[in-house]
Structure 1
């Protein structure tokens, strides 16, 4: 070691402005990517399926640490993108699936519980890997082991009336010969409005719909429902076997890790597509209500992960588990935490921001 005190210190070469900017951008991208993956991510509500709890134009933060962040399945992708690039390049995938890793979930603070508002990857979108499927947001109404039934639009869990979201909505026909000013609807918290013959069809909370009934120019307010016995051909799991609809549904047991079922024709009709699509088995086919793996008939199956049943709070305007099935645990992204901004897409210059919704906790 040279201890000569008179030896000149090596000069530190200063970074140029371009290199400083590049270093700052790289650091910001890496930090944002890590925060987005492990802690919190921002989303915007594009559809009215969760109204009146969440409105179109609500910007919210979703917590990844509540349920635990997932390790990436598709590591080779452009940072801070999802499945597609931005702007004019939006048709181009932002990733390559040349390398695919198994997904694992790191420890979280809690499990998905009934009544949680959950962001997840849309299960039946098979064009993208699981971690890059389109994000949906719904309310979890049933967890593994629950028996779910819907009777006259009301959700029952294990034979008891389930907890009702405060702001849930249903479809109503407003019978009137008059034109109702939009301000009247907005005053009564009604945003989803359609003019039909003989009046309007709206989605509203029951108490708000009944307020309209008191107006002198409204003849009646009639709640919409699919009648008992009517078969909705789009219903999950299989309308040819289970003659259900969105308002009279079930009973349906929600599968969970460790549950073993015998694969008779009724069970295959109910759970066959879930086993084929989400249980990670190779070469599974479903034919004539029987399951085959590698050409061999499957007689029983033990589920390898938990599943959840999700519904929108806007019960008659929501594409949810009633139509496309269970949400696998490995598709769960996080729990909606709070609204940090809300922009009314139909608002004017001075009413664009919904100030009363800023920083509202999501329940």
Structure 2
């Protein structure tokens, strides 16, 4: 844990164990126990368990990281019941402001100690039982969702065939360490917008800095869920959002000029209503990490190279191929079973004339089609600088400048920033790292008269504060990934895709249930 994380844990522990001690010491005395015991962390909760006659094993559950805090609050509630406090607001005050509520109860002349035997005579109403159960369920589910795992559904085909549309996943928060929410005050189980409205589901009245407990770095080839890095600004209309991200829309509106597009968007707030989102409320994306901080990445003829060595090829990744068949009819069921190719209708295939077609194929499908003889020839359909991908409306890839004429199949070489490593800024690499330095690491950065100014000081040296990652979809020709928007900072990482627990397409895909993700 970092010093910042240790400080946060210590502060929370202080609030839970030390600050309520004054009021607890008075309540201990009313219960016939020595008041000094209230000032010793954990010993005070042991004494409360004895006073309330609750199970002794509760004491040990407190030592579970994070979850233990809520066990402690449960002990507080059982203890305060011994003073005839059964109201919902009284228990809420016990959990939220015990350092205020305990002294209030202790100093009130109306307070009387009824002990655990008196507690047994109290019966909750049916409504109260439901309320308490609902609150417990929300708190427990929020804890699990924040610190252990979260359910996620695949909305697009960018990871096919590794992950399919309507695969339901569990995403592990423990793999890289649970990230503390930047915006803790939010409606439970809602991401950034209240369903059925365009209203925010959170408030930034309290906004916490990036903190991750028991942090572990993302590894090459992990399948990762993360917050969309350039989703900080969103055009808040259904046809935009993450379908047509703000920066892409601005370039398109500005005919390739981001600044011109921005000016037009800002001049038309009714047509382009903007929303600024904090890191944890940006859209969730899922991709494969192909390069980590310190790596040099390059894509040559559609193949990924890391540090000049061929990169890992996901077993079910696919790219576009030009296939010439032997004229044999392509039965949809056979093509799916034998080659894992989805063909709803053969007419949907893009014909190149004769028996030539564009097909999305995995390496395994290519080998099988060659072996079976159904394909006379197969060659990759690569997207070079002289080809226009209709998704790019005539532009190339990140960083969208005049120096780097990169495409999805010919990209780099590019160094991935690593925490603690120093970069020498040059006019050639300025556009590559400018956003990371300025936006993700919160610096001012300018280039004037051949010089660079970082936070107002002339310097061409910058040391990165975070690790960065390069994410790409396994469906390499149909994936909105780092080739279009650049690096993913470590503070945007949500968790690792762990297991497929459900998959649906015209019914349940039984062969995909409980499949681990590789």
Q: TM-score range by the shorter chain?
A: 0.7 to 0.9
Alignment partner of 1:171: what SS?
strand
Mapped pair 1:307 → 2:468: yes
CA apart distance, 1:210: 5.1
Structure 2 length-normalised TM: 0.62
1:15-41 per-position Cα deviation (integer Å, ceiling 9, x unaligned): 111110111011000000000000000
1:182-206 per-position Cα deviation (integer Å, ceiling 9, x unaligned): 3243222123775324364332203
What is the rounded CA distance, in whole Å, between the counterparts of 1:189 and 1:329 in structure 2?
A: 35
Distance 1:272 1:310, change over 3 A: same
Alignment partner of 2:305: what SS?
strand
What is the rounded CA distance, in whole Å, between the counterparts of 1:257 and 1:53 in structure 2?
A: 30
1:138 matched to which residue of 2? 287
* Structural mapping, 1:108-123, within 5 Å: 108=215, 110-123=216-229
Structure 1 length-normalised TM: 0.87
Question: Which of the residues 336, 339, 348 maps onto 1:186?
Answer: 336
Distance 1:289 1:119, change over 3 A: farther
Task: Select between 175-184 and 295-304 the one with higher mean Cα deviation.
Answer: 175-184
Mapped pair 1:338 → 2:499: yes
* Structural mapping, 1:252-271, within 5 Å: 252-271=414-433
More strand by share: 1
What is the rounded CA distance, in whole Å, between the counterparts of 1:81 and 1:230 in structure 2?
A: 41
What is the rounded CA distance, in whole Å, between the counterparts of 1:112 and 1:99 in structure 2?
A: 28
* Structural mapping, 1:242-257, within 5 Å: 242-257=404-419
Contact 1:118 1:333 in 2 (8 A): yes
Distance 1:21 1:170, change over 3 A: same
What is the rounded CA distance, in whole Å, between the counterparts of 2:369 and 2:451 in structure 1?
A: 51
More helix by share: 2
2:515 matched to which residue of 1? 360
Mapped pair 1:196 → 2:334: no
CA apart distance, 1:211: 4.1
1:224 matched to which residue of 2? 381
Alignment partner of 1:186: what SS?
helix
* Structural mapping, 1:89-108, within 5 Å: 89=197, 91-108=198-215
CA apart distance, 1:276: 1.6
2:362 matched to which residue of 1? 205
Matched residue count: 347
1:225-277 per-position Cα deviation (integer Å, ceiling 9, x unaligned): 02377698331123411122111111111111111122221121221122122
What is the rounded CA distance, in whole Å, between the counterparts of 1:15 and 1:234 in structure 2?
A: 66
What is the rounded CA distance, in whole Å, between the counterparts of 1:70 and 1:16 in structure 2?
A: 38
Mapped pair 1:74 → 2:157: no
Task: Select between 287-296 and 158-167 the one with higher mean Cα deviation.
Answer: 287-296
Q: Choose 1 or 2 for highest CA Rg.
A: 2
Question: Which of the residues 38, 48, 51 maps onto 2:157?
Answer: 48
Contact 1:238 1:270 in 2 (8 A): no
CA apart distance, 1:112: 0.7
What is the rounded CA distance, in whole Å, between the counterparts of 1:223 and 1:326 in structure 2?
A: 27
Distance 1:297 1:357, change over 3 A: same
Contact 2:434 2:445 in 1 (8 A): no
Contact 1:49 1:315 in 2 (8 A): yes
By relative contact order (CA 8 Å, sep 6+), the higher-ranking structure is 1
- Which 5+ residue runs of structure 1 have no aligned equivalent? 3-8
Alignment partner of 1:35: what SS?
helix
Question: Which of the residues 35, 38, 45 maps onto 2:147?
Answer: 38
What is the rounded CA distance, in whole Å, between the counterparts of 2:290 and 2:317 in structure 1?
A: 12
Contact 1:230 1:245 in 2 (8 A): no
Question: Root-mean-square deviation (CA), in Å?
Answer: 2.7
